[in-house]
Amino acid sequence: MNNEPLAKRVLFLTIHCNRFGNVRKSNVKLDTTAQHARFKTGQMLLASPELDAIRIRDGQVKKQMEDFVLPYKMGCAVLPSESSLKVKKILADYEKIERPELVKAFVAAYVTRVQEAKVALKEEFEESHYPSIEEIGEEFAFSWTLFSLELPDDLKDKAAELISEVAVGVQKALAVGAHGLVKKLADSLSMKDDGTPKKLYDTHFVKLQEWLASFDVRNVVNSVELKAEMDNLKALMAGVDPELVRNNDGLRLKLQTELASAANSLCTMVEHKGRIFRDVEPVDRKNVEAKSGTLKKAGLL
């Protein structure tokens, strides 16, 4: 077991993507008898595949980070330190190589796109909405930061509350994430009201198996109880072929029973909150707090 303090085992990640704002308020008249104040109209300045490519790729890179970060939100992503080198390479390559090329392609087509906008927008075209060719490149910026909460001794007390919050939050978030994947697969393995089997999707198997494969890296709080549950699930899901499950009623029933039981066990590891566990009974709060308190007793904080 890794007995290092949590602050040494996690990093905090922020990503900022700036782009040319392509929408402006429009004052075109509405052809309706409804109250015009109830409507807002916007004008798309450029019809630019190059700008769309930057926006889409920005989103894809952020989405790619989900493979590494912990399922816990606090204004920035919480990343296991073990994943930091992979994340650093992905973001550095995008910042220094790929995104500059995408921006370069947009800038090269910019004058043409502005001329197209003049034709398309007619009297609604506003010259002031469009930066000069010299300025447009400055509209794009991409930055990311990885930082730690390891502090000098005289400042550690300032971070203790946040670290404690992160520890409990990560433990709960891991259980919530696992519960969602397990329950979704268990539900799909069950039968419809008329006794016929529900449709199975390979992606439900794949997502759960990927989660289980990456769990030990994500388990930065060393949750013994949750690890034991995940280890049982790893053994259960090892080598499971969705096609074989579809064609074997006995295997399907066994897997559904085991996963449903695991989903119920995961429910006891977190508080009953909001929509996440709306389909199950709430658990005893004192019991949850007692389990969360084991983090400090284990010397993780």
SS3 content of the chain, % helix, strand, coil (to 5): 60, 10, 30
- Examine the pLDDT at 233 and tell me if it is beyond 50: yes
Q: For residue 7, what pLDDT band results from cuts at 50, 70 and 90?
A: low
Asked if 91 and 29 count as a contact pair (C-beta separation under 8 A), the reply is no
Picking from 262, 86, 275, the residue whose alpha carbon sits closest to that of residue 94 is: 86
- Name the residue with tokens 């198997």: 205
Mean pLDDT, residues 274-300 taken together: 37
Amino acid at 230: M
Query: Which pLDDT score, from 0 to 100, does residue 77 have?
Result: 80
Report how far residue 252's alpha carbon sits from residue 245's, in angstroms, rounded to the nearest whole number. 5
Three-state DSSP at 239 gives coil
Three-state DSSP at 243 gives helix
Rounded to the nearest integer, the mean pLDDT of the chain is 80
Q: For residue 25, what pLDDT band results from cuts at 50, 70 and 90?
A: confident
For 178-202, what is each residue's pLDDT tens digit? 888 999 999 999 988 888 889 889 9
Q: pTM above 0.75? A: no
Mean pLDDT, residues 205-224 taken together: 86
